[in-house]
Structure 1
Amino acid sequence: MSEPRDSGAVFARPSWQSRFRMWLLGHREDSKRSLHELLRTPLNTLLTILVIAVAVALPTGLQVLLKNAEQVAGSFQGSSQITLYLKLDLPEAKGYQLTQELKRDNDIATATFQTREESLLEFKTLSGFGDALDYLEDNPLPAVITVQPTQLASTPEAAEKLLKRLRALPEVEEAQLDLAWLRRLYALMSVGERIATALAIGLGLAVILIIGNTIRLAIENRRAEIEVIKLVGATDSFIRRPFMYSGIWFGLLGGLMATILVTATIWWLDDPVRELAGLYQSSYQVKGLGFTDSLRVLLFATLLGLGGSIVSVNRHLKDIEPR
């Protein structure tokens, strides 16, 4: 007599690849559905995106302005050059030798030697007193070495240290360096960076509140739908997902609009800045957002949107329970 066989349905456990594909499909459908929900109210969506764009564009534009100020400071690093006035009795050969030694210094980019005769000729040309200087018996001007620090040594602190070191040389009578304006510029940029950081934090919190309030209204409008799907066993994570994608869409589109606003502003300012630079014999052009900077803005705005949606959904979804 044969053994009785077990009867009944046999359930196959899905593989992890199948579960992963279903997970991706669910996220894709939720992202599409949330985008369609935003497009159903285009005016309200556009106004929200514009508010987010302005809030993100303000600190971004200030960062671009500071970056251009740093480039302006770098383009005028020639003003950080150090002038060494050598002793009057120093032989010309010693001056050439000192110049060659300075060129080998790691903090010095270039060193140019000017003889006493060249200094006198330059003074005659620039001062307009050439005829009067012809009556002098001796040349009163010293030989000069013009030192240009490297880029790393051109900051106010580093240039000041280099000045003290060069001033202590036995061949040097006097050394001059004018960095007052550069110190003011660096101080202003430091203040500007603090302001930009504070502005980004403050407006970032404002964006989170704006998106959070928008998501809250969306949750209230779909309260009846949420109650029904909770009755049939939907989890909070399943209900939360479309609203989180709505926040992501708001942040992403707001960040994209912010990059457009900043780029348009830079384009608008380009011609006046170029004309102003031309008056100072400079070919400087305003630098806008690069590709990497644009990606950072988009990522920052998207994270703000996601953060606002998470805060709003976690707070208000718990209050909706089926009756």
Structure 2
Amino acid sequence: MSMATRKPERRSPERARKPPRERRQRRGGEASSWRRLPRTWLTHHLQALVGSLGRLVRAPLGNLMTVLVLGIALALPAALHLVLANARQLSDTWEGAARISLYLRLSVPDSEARGLARRIEGRPEVASVRYITRDEALAEFRQASGLDIAIDSLGENPLPATLVVSPADEVAKPKALERLREELQALPGVELARLDLEWIQRLYALMELVWRAVMVIGALLGLAVILVIGNTIRLAIENRREEIVVMKLVGATDGFVRRPFLYTGLWYGLAGGSVAWLLVALSLGWLHAPVQRLALLYQSGFTLRGLAATEVLALLAFAVVLGLAGAWLAVGRHLKSIEPT
């Protein structure tokens, strides 16, 4: 078909009335409105966040008492967690001092005992081996007991030669030490292998029991925090009932009405977590000097450790989650009952 016989394009009357420039402006306005949605959403949330903080600041006394209650409830499991962490740190130093005593048979000659000591010291799980001859063992026993007359009346040395094995740090755990003791017990010439680690095993069992108790206490106190924040938010909702009715009359959605109360729970949780951190830090500072004096008396380099940065962040995050959970439960239950009539 030639250009002369080509039919003109039909346009709708509305499209024909609008010039191309106006249509481009309309499309540009729609696109810019979509781009403004995230900014508007962020602005609304920032307003609710700052507004909820302002409401808390305007009633300092009552809110301070609530925050102190939350801080004490959160400080208790945090303090118990630190007690267990320091106990584990102290038990690690005790495990490092664990020794395995190998009592050799009386028939084992000195040269064979020294060769056995060298073979044991060559094992990767052994740090060092100290060889105590029969005469050295008798001299140590004589000095420690003071029974010179009774020892001289024996006529011969009844004590065996002993190998004192110091395990490496890689096996400084009860199960690994017990496995090493059984292997050394099976060596030729060894009469008895003794590992004095039962008290450390009891300590580990006790710490495991305490850890489970801490988890239970933490869960119960976390539930108490949720209930305290939920009850506080419920009272705030009741105090603002008329305001909520007016907001719903003018078209406010449940999400818009719910938002400030959720941020109030967030502020309660964050403030309670900060108070808990402060209480734990003050308690550790108060106990630091006595613990250091006690460690020096026992010639130990043990020092109390506080909450690490990750633990502080975990405490604050846990408190914030509890605050949001309490606020969500309160708002979800009581906000639906407030409707304009």
Partner of 2:234: 216
Task: Give 3-state SS (helix, strand or coil) of 1:26's partner.
Answer: helix
**In the aligned structure 2, how far is the partner of 1:227 from the partner of 1:144?**
87
**In the aligned structure 2, how far is the partner of 1:99 from the partner of 1:22?**
78
Partner of 1:171: 189
Partner of 2:105: 87
Report Cα offsets for 1:64-109 as digits up to 9, x if no partner. 1111111121121255311001122323333233223323434433
**In the aligned structure 2, how far is the partner of 1:100 from the partner of 1:124?**
28
2:203 equivalent to 1:192: no
Partner of 1:6: 18
Partner of 1:273: 291
**In the aligned structure 2, how far is the partner of 1:17 from the partner of 1:281?**
67
How far did residue 312 of structure 1 move? 0.9
**In the aligned structure 2, how far is the partner of 1:254 from the partner of 1:132?**
69
How far did residue 138 of structure 1 move? 4.9
Partner of 2:68: 50
Report Cα offsets for 1:190-232 as digits up to 9, x if no partner. 1110110000000000000000111111111111111112122
Q: Which runs of 5+ in 2 are unaligned?
A: 1-10
**In the aligned structure 2, how far is the partner of 1:54 from the partner of 1:19?**
42
Matched residue type, 1:263: A
Runs of 4+ in 1 over 6 A off after TM superposition: 134-137
1:41-190 paired onto structure 2 within 5 Å: 41-78=59-96, 80-129=98-147, 138-151=156-169, 153-190=171-208
2:267 equivalent to 1:242: no
Scaled by the length of structure 2, what TM-score is found? Answer: 0.86
Task: Give 3-state SS (helix, strand or coil) of 2:247's partner.
Answer: helix
**In the aligned structure 1, how far is the partner of 2:111 from the partner of 2:254?**
86
How far did residue 151 of structure 1 move? 4.1
Question: What is the identity percentage for the equivalent residue pairs of Structure 1 and Structure 2?
Answer: 46
Assess if the C-alpha contact under 8 Å between 2:274 and 2:316 holds in 1: yes
**In the aligned structure 2, how far is the partner of 1:280 from the partner of 1:200?**
33
How far did residue 130 of structure 1 move? 5.9
Scaled by the length of structure 1, what TM-score is found? Answer: 0.90
**In the aligned structure 1, how far is the partner of 2:59 from the partner of 2:122?**
69
How far did residue 141 of structure 1 move? 2.9
Larger-Rg structure: 2
**In the aligned structure 2, how far is the partner of 1:106 from the partner of 1:245?**
57
2:304 equivalent to 1:294: no
TM-align CA RMSD: 2.5
Assess if the C-alpha contact under 8 Å between 1:79 and 1:178 holds in 2: no
Matched residue type, 2:270: L
State which of 14, 36, 39 in structure 1 corresponds to 2:57.
Answer: 39
**In the aligned structure 2, how far is the partner of 1:105 from the partner of 1:226?**
76
How far did residue 56 of structure 1 move? 0.4
Cα distance change of structure 1 residues 16 and 74 upon mapping to structure 2, 3 Å threshold: farther
State which of 27, 41, 50 in structure 2 corresponds to 1:23.
Answer: 41
**In the aligned structure 2, how far is the partner of 1:148 from the partner of 1:55?**
45
Assess if the C-alpha contact under 8 Å between 1:277 and 1:284 holds in 2: yes
**In the aligned structure 1, how far is the partner of 2:99 from the partner of 2:254?**
66
Assess if the C-alpha contact under 8 Å between 1:84 and 1:174 holds in 2: yes
Task: Give 3-state SS (helix, strand or coil) of 2:17's partner.
Answer: coil
Mean alpha-carbon deviation: is it higher for 133-142 or for 285-294? 133-142
Report Cα offsets for 1:27-46 as digits up to 9, x if no partner. 22211111001011101110
Assess if the C-alpha contact under 8 Å between 2:96 and 2:169 holds in 1: no
